[in-house]
Amino acid sequence: MSLYVAETRIGLAAYLERLRRFPALALAKGRPRDRDPADTVANTWQVSLERIQPVAGAVTLLEVCGFLAPEGIPRELFAQQLEEPVEPLELARLAGDPFVLDAAVASLRRFGLVKADEQALAMHRLLQQVVRDRLDHDAAASRAGLAVRLLAAAFPEDRYKDPRLWPAFARLLPHALAAADQAEQYSAEPDATALVLNQAGWYLLQRARFREAHQLYERALAVAEAAYGPDHPRTAIWRGNFGFALLHGEGDLALARQHLERALTIKEATWGPHHSSVVTSLRHLGGALQQLGDLAAARQQLERALILGEVVWGPDHASTALTLYSLGALLHELRDLAAAQRHLERALAIQKTVWGPDHYYVALGHDYLGGIFRDQGELAATREHFGQALALYNASLGSDHPTVARLLCRLGLVLRDQGDLDTARQRLERSLAAEEVALGPDHLQIAFTLHHLGLVLQEQQNLAGAIQHLERALAIRQATLGPEHSSTKATARVLTKLRT
């Protein structure tokens, strides 16, 4: 290294940047010309490789680790039996016999190729690069494919927005991203790669990291299109998932609708209407249409989803309850409060039976029902439902999650209706602070909170504070919704009155 820096005069910082971006090449360039090749990282690896080869599975274990993130590689990844036969067979031996896995780890650790503790392995990123570089194309594609298959099997299956699973997802996330990057380069295992990208995207979606999630879902779709073509039913699954992801955060709703409609068309043509994936697509499309303001079309899709879902899953299934939630929320917006309440109460009862009283989906039901009771003027019932929802959200999602912030805002509106302006202001200010951290300063949800905080400040005779918050809300709504949107006009009207 010092010789290369001295000869090229690039400086240590520039060399370190080259080392970060091109580790194997930088090591080769930095090798003194008169130095024994046996002292290089690559040749040191070759010597170690020869020593570990007699240990069953050790080489395969090390090579697969080369396609994962360098730190915190879960040992249990290699204790899984994959459903289909795998090559090389040593991987199956690692999974089938814990003593074989222990011996392989011990061998790698003995020669300094990995670090290990009870839970995880670690491998230096430069050694990872050398391991990958010394594999031919087919062998590298095989190991990248094994990495994504192991991760696809490791992610928890029964997710259902259960925050108790988030620590497991967080441990797997860096490895999912690293393995998917490598698998995409080699076009290896497209199904497993798309699945891993979706699983990682789902986790990021729940943690309100919307932009990152959208990117992963879009990459999964690209993988499927490259492998199967744009109109294949497998591609339709990932297309529909990408469309669904775009419904969250500041996603492109028009693009979401486009992908969801195309996915639905392909699924119906392939599997017919009585297929669970078709029903899910109908529900998601209904959500997109509702957000786009086409409420009549949204109702048509959601009512069809409910009818088909009761056939496919049964009337008391958790997935049927999700459709009831979506339809209930739409009917609320359509001002059919009695029908909305019936659907939401039925859904809440199902979710309590399926998941127990403390699940996220139970909190969601209380949240929706609180909105119904508020619009019916039953403020005591509203506070009861919102309070239950807030307690469950806090316990499951954490106090800084945007879902918690949104509910704090709605609680603030109820308190304002009840005349408790000081507490209403406190709730709205807490909501605003949490939203700004989770969503950024210009998110549309923040405009809603700013608008209503401005109204509370107005009622407290704090006109300067009211104008300040309303001006900021107006700027966000104009930039996001346009000047002619009803919400933008509503904020503008209040500001005009205050200024005059």
Q: In b/e form, how buried is each residue of 322-357, taking b as 16+ CB within 10 angstroms?
A: bbbbbbbbbbbeeeeeeebbebbbbbbebbbebbee
Q: In degrees to the nearest 10, what's the CA dihedral of 32, 38, 42, 48?
A: -150
CA atoms within 13 A on the CB side of 100: 18
Can you give the pLDDT at residue 396?
A: 84
With beta carbons less than 8 A apart as the criterion, state whether 187 and 230 touch: no
Can you give the pLDDT at residue 81?
A: 82
Rounded to an integer, what distance in angstroms lies between the CA atom of residue 332 and that of residue 367?
A: 13
Can you give the pLDDT at residue 21?
A: 59
With beta carbons less than 8 A apart as the criterion, state whether 347 and 375 touch: no
- Specify the residue for token string 């990872």: 128
pTM for the model stands at: 0.82
| Per-residue tokens: 377 | 């003027």
Helix (H) or strand (E) segment spanning residue 121: strand 120-122
Rounded to an integer, what distance in angstroms lies between the CA atom of residue 95 and that of residue 56?
A: 12
Can you give the pLDDT at residue 486?
A: 85
Can you give the pLDDT at residue 208?
A: 84
Helix (H) or strand (E) segment spanning residue 103: helix 98-110
At 127-172, the pLDDT tens digits run 898 889 889 999 999 999 999 999 999 998 766 667 778 889 999 9
CA atoms within 13 A on the CB side of 68: 28
Sheet with 120-122: list strands edge to edge: 73-74, 120-122, 115-116
| Per-residue tokens: 477 | 């709504």
The beta strand positions in 180-278, using DSSP E, are none
Rounded to an integer, what distance in angstroms lies between the CA atom of residue 66 and that of residue 141?
A: 12
% of the chain exceeding 70 in pLDDT = 87
Q: Give 108's contacts (C-beta < 8 A, 6+ positions apart).
A: 52, 58, 61, 62, 114, 116, 121
* pLDDT < 50 regions, the chain: 32-39
Residue 116, classed as helix, strand or coil, is strand
With beta carbons less than 8 A apart as the criterion, state whether 104 and 114 touch: no
Can you give the pLDDT at residue 8?
A: 61
At 329-347, the pLDDT tens digits run 999 999 999 999 999 999 9
Can you give the pLDDT at residue 46?
A: 58
Rounded to an integer, what distance in angstroms lies between the CA atom of residue 408 and that of residue 391?
A: 11
Question: Diameter of the chain by CA atoms?
Answer: 86
Rounded to an integer, what distance in angstroms lies between the CA atom of residue 319 and that of residue 312?
A: 10
With beta carbons less than 8 A apart as the criterion, state whether 174 and 74 touch: no
- How many C-beta atoms lie closer than 10 Å to residue 189's C-beta? 23
Can you give the pLDDT at residue 38?
A: 37
Domains observed in the chain = 403-500 (1.25.40.10)
Residue 273, classed as helix, strand or coil, is coil
